[in-house]
């Protein structure tokens, strides 16, 4: 930095421009522009909220608490990203799939990559507790052709709103989880139980902050899916129970119209029929 340039910002009002002057030219590096944008929005926020010194210190202490609460098993920063809608926004901005394709959602913290493969028709409720639900579905491509051999991994909460890995002493390992391979018609089916909605974790600093402000913590009831097939973009998504009253206030902003399904027939039986539409990998679409 030259002496003239250095003197130019001495005593100047603290603005994004003054902050921006401090960076050198770095061709092709997105970092300075990103930091300038970050500072610009942060300056605007501070000017709008006008925190006292104590309030700013309390905010910095909150950031320390969130870091202290995070580890490999519990990522409180990811929860902050989720609860403020940032995870959903990043997903939305990166989603270039055609409207007919099944939308992606954030995967969330309860997925297990070591989920066991099960035969079509298997019951993934290993403890038999809950209201039985039959799930049948198809995996298709954008032309409506079946995707055979797709791996459909599903995981869900039990009727009390807990995943198996949240209750290792109460639920059998891999309860309500299964990985199925679609048949020649792209079909899969399995038996399970009706899932319950559940609150996002409120015991950490992020959850307790939003709870204090009256933010609704309950996620609507859903099944989660991860669908992988060779030559196709992987789908990670939810299917939500159309009857759940919390559909409009999912704290993770994952509910999309295409992902709301009826889990009950008109006669009251618990049955879900679903279709997932996969998109071929980009380089294959360009051929
Ligand atoms: Fe979930």
Q: Using one digit for the tens of pLDDT, what is the confidence trace for 14-58?
A: 888 888 888 877 777 888 889 999 999 999 999 999 999 999 999
Enumerate the domain spans of the chain: 3-50, 81-285
pTM attached to this predicted model: 0.83
Cα–ligand 1 centroid distance for 239 (angstroms): 10
Cα–ligand 1 centroid distance for 213 (angstroms): 23
Give mean pLDDT, residues 208-212.
Answer: 88
Cα–ligand 1 centroid distance for 225 (angstroms): 10
Class of domain 81-285: mainly beta
pLDDT at 287 over 80: no
**Banded pLDDT at 145 (limits 50, 70, 90):** very high
How would you label 188-225 residue by residue, b for 16+ Cβ within 10 Å and e otherwise? bbbebbbbbbbebbeebbbbebbeeeeeebbbbbbbbb
pLDDT for 263: 97
Cα–ligand 1 centroid distance for 60 (angstroms): 30
* Rounded Cα distance, 251 and 79, in Å: 10
pLDDT for 5: 56
Cα–ligand 1 centroid distance for 250 (angstroms): 11
Give mean pLDDT, residues 215-231.
Answer: 96
Cα–ligand 1 centroid distance for 222 (angstroms): 6
Nearest in space to 83 (alpha carbons), one of 212, 216, 197: 216
Cα–ligand 1 centroid distance for 241 (angstroms): 12
């Amino acid at each position: 930095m030259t002496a003239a340039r250095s003197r130019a910002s001495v005593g100047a009002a603290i603005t994004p421009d003054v902050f921006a002057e401090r960076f050198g030219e770095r061709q092709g590096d997105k970092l300075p522009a990103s930091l300038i944008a970050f500072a610009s929005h942060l300056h605007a926020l501070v000017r709008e909220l006008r925190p006292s010194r104590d309030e700013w210190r309390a905010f910095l202490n909150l950031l320390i608490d969130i870091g202290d609460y995070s580890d490999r098993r519990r990522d409180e920063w990811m929860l902050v990203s989720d609860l403020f809608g940032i995870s959903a926004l990043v997903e939305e901005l990166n989603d270039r799939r055609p409207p007919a394709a099944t939308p992606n959602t954030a995967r969330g913290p309860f997925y297990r990559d070591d989920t066991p493969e099960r035969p079509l028709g298997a019951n993934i409720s290993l403890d038999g507790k809950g209201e039985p639900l039959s799930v049948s579905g198809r995996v298709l491509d954008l032309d409506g052709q079946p995707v055979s051999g797709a791996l459909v991994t599903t995981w869900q909460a039990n009727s009390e709103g807990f995943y198996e890995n949240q209750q290792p002493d109460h639920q059998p390992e891999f309860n309500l989880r299964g990985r199925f391979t679609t048949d020649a018609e792209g079909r899969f089916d399995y038996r399970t139980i009706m899932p319950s909605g559940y609150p996002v974790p409120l015991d950490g600093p992020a959850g307790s902050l939003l709870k204090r402000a009256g933010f609704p913590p309950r996620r609507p009831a859903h099944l989660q899916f991860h669908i992988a097939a060779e030559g196709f973009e992987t789908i990670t998504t939810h299917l939500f129970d159309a009857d759940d009253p919390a559909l409009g206030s999912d704290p993770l902003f994952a509910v999309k119209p295409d992902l709301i399904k009826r889990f009950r027939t008109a006669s009251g039986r618990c049955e879900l029929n679903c279709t997932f539409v996969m998109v071929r990998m980009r380089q294959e679409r360009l051929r």
